[in-house]
Amino acid sequence: MDLGFIGLGRMGANMVRRLLGGGHRIVAYNRSPDKVKQIVEEGAEGAFSLEELAAKLIPPRAVWLMIPEGDPVNQHIRELKPLLARGDIVIDGGNAYFKNSVARGKDLAESGILFTDVGTSGGIWGLKNGYCLMIGGDESTYRRLEPIFSTLAPPDGYLYCGPSGSGHFVKMIHNGIEYGMLQAYGEGFEIMKASPYKLDFGKIAHLWNQGSVVRSWLLELAEAAFQKDPTLASLKGYVADSGEGRWTVQTAMEEDIPAPVITLSLLERFRSRQEESFSAKVIAALRQEFGGHPVKEAVHP
C-alpha cells in the first residue's frame, strides 16, 4: 500500500521499518529533517513538509499520525485538511483520548475525509514482535487499510473494535490495566527487598515465568532489568504517565464503575514524583501535636 507517515520517534520509525519490510511504499515526514534523511536511507521516500507529503501520495491517500496527543495532533490535522481530498484517510496511531478522536472524526467528515483511530501497543519491541492494534472508525475504511494492519501486527494481533473512538477507548483501558499490573509487580519486589532474605530478583522473575499464574512479558522485562542492575541502583524512582491512566479513571468515575486498583496505581505515580511529600509533613506534625509521637527533623544545608 501507499502510506504517508508522520512522526519518526522511537516507535514511529520502527513502524515504518516494519512496513517497508512488508513491501509498502512509505512517504515519511518528521519535523526534524535528520530523522527523515535517516529513514530515506532505509528505503522510505522522504517529505520535508506536509505539502510535499500530500503531493507524493497516490490518491486516495492515507496518512498515519504517530505523534503526541493534544496540540500536536490538532495542529497536524488542521494543516492536513486543506491538503487532502474527499475519500482520503487520516489515521491516528498515538495514545489519544477517545473523546478527542470522536470529535476529530466528525470534524474531518465535514470535508469528506475519513478518520481511523488505532490504539497501538508494542513499544520498542514492535519492530521485531509486531504491534497489537485496536482499531476504531468506519468498517469499510478499516478494510481498505487492512494490508497495513496485517503487516504491522503479529498473527491475530489486530482487531476492528467498532465506531469512531473505540480503538483509542480499548487502548486506554489496556493502559489503565497496565498501570495496575506494574504497580503490583513493583510493590511485590519492594516487599521482597525489605525482607531479611538476600534474594536474586532476576532469578525470581525468571522463575515466576515458568508456569506461574503471574507469568507475563512484563516479568521477562523485569528479569532483563535486574540482570543489568540487580538493585536498580542506577534509577530514580520517578514514574511518569502519558495520560491513559487518568482518562481510564475519569471514565470509570463517569460510568460509576469502582476501579480502586487502577486509581491507586495512578496516584502512586504522582507520589513518585515528589522529592518530599508536604501532606506527609502535615500528618507527622498532627501526630506529634495530638499524641506526642516522635518526628524526624529536616536536615538543612
Catalytic residue ranges: 171, 178
> Using alpha carbons only, what angle is made at residue 165 by residues 162 and 169, rounded to the nearest 5 degrees?
90
Instruction: Look at residues 159, 155, 151, 59 and name the one whose alpha carbon lies nearest to residue 117.
Output: 159
From the number of C-beta atoms within 10 Å of its C-beta (0-12, 13-18, 19+), residue 26 rates as buried
**b/e sequence 183-207, b meaning 16+ C-beta within 10 Å:** bebbeebeeeeeeeeeeebbebbbe
Helices (H), 59-164: 71-80, 98-109, 126-129, 139-152
- Cβ atoms of 248 and 173 within 8 Å: the answer is yes
